[in-house]
Amino acid sequence: MKKIFFLLLFAVYGVTMSAQSVQGYNNPVIPGYHPDPSVCRVGDDFYLVNSSFQYFPGVPIFHSRDLIHWEQIGNVLDRASQVSLKGATSWQGIYAPTIRYHEGTYYMITTNVGNGGNFMVTATDPRGPWSEPIWLKQQGIDPSLYFENGKCYMVSNPDDAIWLCEIDPKTGEQLTESRQLWRGTGGRYPEGPHIYKKDGYYYLLISEGGTEYGHSITIARSKKIEGPYKANPDNPILCHQRRITQTSQIQGTGHADLVQGSDGSWWIMFLAFRTYGGNYHHLGRETFLAPVEWEKKGWPVVNGNGTVALSMNVPTLPQTAPKPATERFTFPESLNDPGWLMLQNPQDSMIKPASRINDDLSTFTALRLKASKSTLSENDRPSFLGRRQESAEMTLATRVSLACEGDSLVDEAEGGLTVYQINDGHYDLFLRCQSGVRSVGLRCRLKAIDYIVAEQTLDAADQFAPVELKVESDEALYHFYYRLTADDEWHKLGTLDTILLSSEVAGGFTGVVLGMYASSPVDGDSAVFDYFELKE
């Protein structure tokens, strides 16, 4: 009996300690190219969206119960009728979205830079389907919504300031003239506005300084939503361009959204990037999390001192177990995964199934990627399917073969793997055919210049035979390999620096996306991929 009592006591103690010891997490909570986070809470559930720029489908949407472990549940803009990305570059397309929930409806409002301006879509289920675009009059980027007393307010940043108007949330009609609220504290590019109400004050949270190293978050408040707004005397409330963080790997902190947990705790979701090899970042702007306390005078304080760390030793909401990451994607099943990306609005029938035969003569389904006349560098709907790189250390592999509708491949038919930052900054590990001769090679595209780093001619006995390709990376380098069969050793083609694909060198507002691609100067050619393996 005594033994049973102690066992029960130990069990209760263990459960109690487990509940109390839920503390700490690692940043970023959504790694890789996931910028401009916006979050809303519905009951005990949190939903988050990110910018997508020139990639389709647009605006990834995530779900979480603890703000730490996130699962992508879809993409808001998953139809061509919702989003035109014609000619969009890495500086254009879908900018900072905001997600809000009001009376049974989810709202996502954003800007399509280069193709239409500000619009919103709605849904009754965050997993979709989402509506067709509702276009809005007030321009500027980074629009946001605030609902109160039957009214819907919109804020955005035309004329380098934050402006407010009232709109009809069903039709998008602007009901009041736009009114200037705040120009910020003097930092350039006041943007990313969000309005909240707490303890009788309307709080206006914005980002300033540009989405670079001087990025910061500032806040002002007013007793009336129309203003005037008074700035927090301790602005910025979040910034890493400080002496205490000058050696931090985390830089460019900004573009934030506040959210309150059901337990009353406050949190801030924001973007930042991790630097590698000095002041360079290639993975893009990522989604970070920090706790918020409200001081006696009513201003928010982020993580005690306005900075954040990679390892956060703070109390959290009860944490849920993370979902295991998929490492090997086979087809066509994995195409239902919402993490796949294409460049601009994809061509019709770009992706088709392909029947393949194993060594034991059994069959399986592979992915046939229709070759585009447009290359990755031309930025005109290339044939491309990829996933965000989320860790500096990763291994990417595939088995690829070339195919055609005729008897032989035309010159320059090509397919393989790409490490893609922007159309003027990518590394391509390719299999191609020229004058009936097959080869594998490594290309570097940087600032409008293409050059072949290495190329190896292959046995022409079977020009349609598959070749395995592999890319490995660490913080400083990408290493490129190939082999002809699974029994062969890997042959190294070359090594290239991660810095050349950084935003500071290559440019753009996104981050590295790892993908499969195919190109050919004529119709009918394609590349067939047996699998896509990504271990991070």
Q: Which of the following is catalytic: 142, 191, 286, 525?
A: 191
- Lookup: tokens for 134: 């509702």
CA–CA gap between residue 233 and residue 236 (Å, rounded): 9
Closest CA to 440 of 405, 472, 470: 470
**Could you count the other beta carbons within 10 Å of the beta carbon of residue 386?**
24
Is 405 catalytic? The answer is: no
Asked if 35 and 509 touch (Cβ cutoff 8 Å), the reply is yes
What totals of helices (H) and strands (E) does the chain contain, helices first?
1, 39
CA–CA gap between residue 257 and residue 93 (Å, rounded): 21
Closest CA to 46 of 350, 197, 265, 217: 265
- Lookup: tokens for 468: 């395995």
CA–CA gap between residue 274 and residue 290 (Å, rounded): 16
Cα torsion 64, 68, 73, 78: sign: positive
Closest CA to 280 of 6, 475, 129, 93: 475
Is 472 catalytic? The answer is: no
Asked if 483 and 468 touch (Cβ cutoff 8 Å), the reply is yes
- Lookup: tokens for 162: 């934050």
Residue 388: in which H helix or E strand, if any? strand 383-388
Q: Which of the following is catalytic: 36, 142, 286, 525?
A: 36
Between the alpha carbon of residue 263 and those of residues 259, 300, 302, 491, 496, the distances in Å are 12, 17, 18, 55, 48
Torsion angles phi and psi, residue 3, rounded to 5:
-65, -40
CA–CA gap between residue 115 and residue 133 (Å, rounded): 12
Task: Give residues with Cβ within 8 angstroms of 55, minimum separation 6.
Answer: 85, 93, 341, 342, 343, 510, 513
**Could you count the other beta carbons within 10 Å of the beta carbon of residue 135?**
13
Closest CA to 495 of 467, 518, 514, 476: 476
Q: Which residues are catalytic?
A: 36, 191
